[in-house]
Structure 1
Amino acid sequence: MTSPPENSPEVNASELMEIGPLAKTDAPFPVVGIVASAGGLEAFTELIRHLPTDTGVAFVLIQHLSPDHESLLSEILGKVTEMPVHQVQDQMVVEPSQIYVIPPNTQMTLVDGIFHLAPRQKIQGRYVPGDVFFDSLAVDRGNKAIAVVLSGMDGDGAQGIKAIKEAGGVTFAQCEATARFDSMPNTAVATGSVDFVLPPHAIATELTKLSRSLVLQRSELIQSQIVQELPQPGNALETILALLRTTTGIDFTLYKPTTIARRIQRRLLLYKLESLEEYAQYLKQHPAEVQALYEEILIHVIPT
């Protein structure tokens, strides 16, 4: 057995079996949370301009708004897309292929597919409506939670984007070259939890691909198959675990099957693969991905 990579966290069997809360896998459709501040409206408009109207995904914009002025976001966005655009009301039910906008002077959460509004309040001295929404989105949608951080001048969204990744979701940030104010997306990227760093139109392209992904549409079935499949000589799961064991020195057969399944399913989604067999082959051809999978599996072991 080889030694774990230098600077890797020390783990033991009891930790591997106990750590890793179960995330939802049965959400009916994905929800994309998008946080933006200064310069963000321009970026979001560019993003939704390139989205088809039938993605089957809900889009929720958490824009930093003046608490003293009525928002015109719904009217503005309605001019660039045929998707229905709503300013959220308390207890509103989220629906697919629609856009939702946070009202001024509020913070918003999503619980069991229902929006909940409350007066905004500071957390550790700052207003962070993006983090608040992302945290709730991670719980409500699990692996069907998607987070996007666009232009802005503070770090809102950075903490919440980590929660989305831990739940098995996919994360995006606007690239520095196109963000009018890059502090917000750059802070998100610095967490190490952002999967794609792209301009808005390219984010729209990737979101469209995700919405069509069979892995995402059949995530419950795929994760169930991974959990139920026993690692046996020659099968894909044994190949994946053997590559991890050879590279890291850790036997991940001791890890919770549900968490292993969630992590592998997320990697399938990122690389647009559709089966364990395809992913096992990908790992053989890309040794760096073995290390990436290892680090992602241990996401709950490493203290924040």
Structure 2
Amino acid sequence: MNDEVGSELELSEDNDDQAKPTHIVGIGASAGGLEAIEAFFKTMPPDSGVAFVVIQHLSPDHKSLMAELLSKRTHMPVHRAEDGMWVEMNSVYLIPPNKNLRLFHGRIILSEQDRDSRGINLPIDIFFRSLAEDQGAKAIAIVLSGTGSDGTSGIRAIKEELGMAMVQVEETAAFDGMPRSAIATGLVDYILPPEEMPAQLLSLQATKHSQ
């Protein structure tokens, strides 16, 4: 490695320390999740010190407009996740189609979708488990509207590492399969409408800072 490359690497590491989020929030959503995601970010302040990674079930052939839509709901920068990106505070990262997303030492790692023996890919569980392993008690999982049970085993992993789990109240979800499955674990800390979740996150921040 030459000196110039080494200096750039040191600088990027320094910048990462300065921009390190207090918590990383994984938001999992599937069918009917767009409205819930928008409601969440509409009330989430842009300067909380937290980072957000949104994991949706995306059609491989459909161009997602999530980045454009979310940019109208938040003053935080909204990024389409790229392999190797640092996850920085006060920023939102969106999973791309046909990919699974994991965290490793605060960086985004993208890989091709890997389906199980039933031909099913569970991107929310995959991300939540890596979030738990990478961030420990600084990991927060949020499950919003969707069918099926993606996110449920990931919440178990988050709670094993003493992270926090929030789930959309079933009555407000367009599709309640994912919220209902997550709630049935008995491990969820808060069950709320999406627009009320940011206040609870800020309350967590205040508690951590006062300790």
- TM-score category, normalised to shorter length: 0.7 to 0.9
1:114-153 matched pairs, under 5 angstroms: 114-125=107-118, 126-153=120-147
After TM superposition, the score normalised by the length of structure 2 is 0.87
Moved over 6 A (4+): none
2:61 to 49, 63, 68: 68
CA distance in 1, matches of 2:66, 2:73: 11
CA distance in 2, matches of 1:194, 1:51: 20
2:105 to 108, 112, 128: 112
Choose between structure 1 and 2: higher helix proportion.
1
CA distance in 2, matches of 1:199, 1:124: 34
CA distance in 2, matches of 1:78, 1:211: 24
State the identity as a percent: 49
Q: Counterpart in 2 of 1:8?
A: none
The 8 Å contact of residues 55 and 212 in structure 1, kept in 2 or not, is answered as: no
- SS of the equivalent of 1:77 reads helix
Which string of whole-angstrom CA distances, capped at 9 and with x for unpartnered residues, describes residues 57-111 of structure 1?
0011001100112221111100111110001011111000111100011000001
Choose between structure 1 and 2: higher strand proportion.
2
Which string of whole-angstrom CA distances, capped at 9 and with x for unpartnered residues, describes residues 15-37 of structure 1?
xxxxxxxxxxxx86200001000
Answer with 1 or 2: which has the greater Rg: 1
CA distance in 1, matches of 2:84, 2:117: 27
1:1-304 matched pairs, under 5 angstroms: 29-125=22-118, 126-213=120-207, 215=208, 217=209, 274=211
The 8 Å contact of residues 21 and 90 in structure 2, kept in 1 or not, is answered as: no
1:191 deviation in Å?
A: 1.1
Q: Structure 1: which 5+ runs fail to align?
A: 1-26, 219-273, 275-304
Q: Structure 2: which 5+ runs fail to align?
A: 1-19
Equivalenced residue count is 191
What value does the CA root-mean-square deviation take over the aligned residues? 1.3
Which string of whole-angstrom CA distances, capped at 9 and with x for unpartnered residues, describes residues 183-223 of structure 1?
0010001111111111001112111222333x3x48xxxxx
Which string of whole-angstrom CA distances, capped at 9 and with x for unpartnered residues, describes residues 214-263 of structure 1?
x3x48xxxxxxxxxxxxxxxxxxxxxxxxxxxxxxxxxxxxxxxxxxxxx
